[in-house]
Chain A
């Protein structure tokens, strides 16, 4: 068998594929953050909590109402998105235009409250969610066993990522959004309801996190604390990609998944640190990120 740095090629191909799958998660999560920061200049520390809420909602809707996976895929992001709109309307709006640190602290506080309350109700051991029957099993690719569900994760995440990029960068609605945040008074003058636009944008960014949460529910332990560790990594991804760059967030997400996957093969103990190492290097040599516009 051919070897690369002492690792069989077959194992390496498997690790690359798994890196892409994890990267798809990072891409979805960092995309939401980038949308919220890029358009609203809000540093959304509640993003991890929203991801967790997406997963929790999926499990709870199934347990109590019998709502299946496919419906949850649509309904959970809608519910969590609506919750996000409420947060924007009642809380974030009051500190609009202030320094970034205010939105960071406010959303961080909101995240702590949400996960604290849910820990009290559900504990931390994790809720059980059975994988939908169509996804049970997998296919042997020769170099690895590929569970059907992981393949679906790549497809779903990429479709949603591309759709979001397309809407924001290439459609008229996206143009309104970008213009509304650039010069809200002028856009108000043109008869566009900018506050509504802002609420909906925050809700949409949060819904993306919830969508990632639904995707995560069948494969990871669903607990009220699942978002906190992921959040920090995803922030690093956004910083590497360039704060606010939509396309940058997607590409960097997948790239970081692959880099992390390779680290897990060659030197596992560093796998939780490697993304931050890349972040340090990027900040040193390209302070506005790989895809950010030079300030």
Chain B
């Protein structure tokens, strides 16, 4: 009997301890690791200013959560999955990092999410594009927050086809992201009754696009689709304008453009280009108020990625506060159960595959006459409802979805 009592007591005690461990913040510290391209091609869309956005969220939250302090470490991912993997391994195995935030190059995010899954830590990806991150590469340990290639193709390509751009010639960056985007665009164009008449896969990165633009011109297609990003896209657009693409009646469709790219091109060169974005700074009072504060900190207007980093960090800290825990699964469940309503998204929802679904926007770059200042660059043409934007769960190949 005493034996039985002892056993029971210890069982209860250890159950309580286990429960206690889950409902507590490890080391009395919530540690966030910010990983992004801090010096290369993708620096401006996230980079050091993304770290500022993250720090703004922590400051707005009050600098601590349930009495535990919030710490931030950061690293340059060098756009390299290898470098990033060893950084994140060190963070989670030796430095007790609870959340990895930022993350831009899709290859980096996919590599990092595997390490997070092994160690059961959480990652929130704000910069990456590939829709495969929450499809075949989904894990129970990451969330993809801002946008992906699926709505980019849905928004821009379907709008352009509906306006009469039936035949497409694709200029595609020759790596995973470009191929994914080209695939998504092909699906949308064909579904809307259009046709892909030719494609060129160009090396990443390419400085001189004149050869490719010439081939696209010779194809006679209505639309030249740019399935690339960053400097590749801006270089292609500049060259297209130099070679008189638009004057000859062809349309340019840039599938992935960030505010920083459009700013670099300027309204003169970029005017009239349609694009899909997850967020724009000048949409309403909430977005403007936050963007003004961001601009005071950094001197520039925020991209959708900067806003997403702020918003997702806020959601994460709220979930830690509500559950009193920094355990990855506890926090992720709480985040999935809480709709997102802030300056970034209205009724945003994190699905079981880790995809945060929210309204997307079809925008057009203003003409120099319409643009009141250097950052006044987009007209929002249409709000694309969340359910129309993202890949439906019924088509998902994610292992967490029962299909």
Residues A8 and B208 in contact, CB atoms below 8 Å apart: no
Closest to B45 in A: A125
Q: Mark B371-395, 1 if CB is under 8 A from A, else 0.
A: 0000000000000000000000000
Residues A268 and B201 in contact, CB atoms below 8 Å apart: yes
The answer to the question of A147 belonging to the interface, with a C-beta cut-off of 8 Å to chain B, is: yes
Closest-CB distance, B275 to chain A (whole angstroms): 15
B261: chain A residues at CB < 8 Å are 125
The answer to the question of A264 belonging to the interface, with a C-beta cut-off of 8 Å to chain B, is: yes
Closest to A257 in B: B208
Instruction: Spot the interface stretch: A10-18, A35-43, A72-80.
Output: A10-18
Other-chain residue from A130, A220, A268 in contact with B202 (beta carbon distance below 8 A): A268
B403: chain A residues at CB < 8 Å are none
Question: Which positions 8-45 of chain B face chain A at CB distance < 8 Å?
Answer: 39-44
The answer to the question of B73 belonging to the interface, with a C-beta cut-off of 8 Å to chain A, is: no
Total inter-chain residue pairs, C-beta < 8 Å: 106
The answer to the question of B210 belonging to the interface, with a C-beta cut-off of 8 Å to chain A, is: yes
The answer to the question of A173 belonging to the interface, with a C-beta cut-off of 8 Å to chain B, is: no
Residues A138 and B203 in contact, CB atoms below 8 Å apart: no
The answer to the question of B200 belonging to the interface, with a C-beta cut-off of 8 Å to chain A, is: yes
Closest-CB distance, A61 to chain B (whole angstroms): 18
Other-chain residue from A10, A128, A138, A145 in contact with B265 (beta carbon distance below 8 A): A128
- Cα distance A201–B136 when bound, in Å? 57
Closest-CB distance, A122 to chain B (whole angstroms): 10
Q: Mark A251-293, 1 if CB is under 8 A from B, else 0.
A: 0000000000100110011011100000000000000000000
Other-chain residue from B41, B202, B244, B268 in contact with A124 (beta carbon distance below 8 A): B41
- Cα distance A138–B248 when bound, in Å? 13
A273: chain B residues at CB < 8 Å are 203
User: How many B residues face the partner with a CB closer than 8 A?
Assistant: 40
The answer to the question of B347 belonging to the interface, with a C-beta cut-off of 8 Å to chain A, is: no
A184: chain B residues at CB < 8 Å are none
Residues A220 and B207 in contact, CB atoms below 8 Å apart: yes
The answer to the question of B242 belonging to the interface, with a C-beta cut-off of 8 Å to chain A, is: yes
Residues A123 and B44 in contact, CB atoms below 8 Å apart: yes
The answer to the question of B217 belonging to the interface, with a C-beta cut-off of 8 Å to chain A, is: yes
The answer to the question of B69 belonging to the interface, with a C-beta cut-off of 8 Å to chain A, is: no
The answer to the question of A221 belonging to the interface, with a C-beta cut-off of 8 Å to chain B, is: yes
Q: Mark A131-154, 1 if CB is under 8 A from B, else 0.
A: 100000110000011010110000
Residues A219 and B203 in contact, CB atoms below 8 Å apart: no
Residues A124 and B40 in contact, CB atoms below 8 Å apart: yes
Residues A149 and B242 in contact, CB atoms below 8 Å apart: yes
Residues B231 and A223 in contact, CB atoms below 8 Å apart: yes
Tell me the B residues contacting A by CB distance below 8 Å. 39-44, 47, 174, 200-203, 205-208, 210-212, 214-215, 217-218, 230-231, 234-235, 238-239, 242-244, 248, 260-261, 263-266, 268
6 A-B pairs within 8 Å (CB atoms) are namely A18-B211, A119-B39, A123-B44, A125-B234, A145-B243, A264-B211
**Besides A128-B265, A229-B205, 18 new A-B residue pairs in contact (Cβ under 8 A), listed by A number:** A11-B218, A18-B211, A18-B214, A124-B40, A124-B44, A125-B230, A125-B260, A126-B231, A128-B266, A219-B238, A220-B208, A221-B234, A221-B235, A226-B207, A264-B212, A265-B211, A271-B211, A272-B203
Closest CB pairs A-B (n = 9):
A272-B203, A264-B211, A125-B264, A126-B264, A125-B44, A123-B44, A125-B260, A124-B43, A11-B218
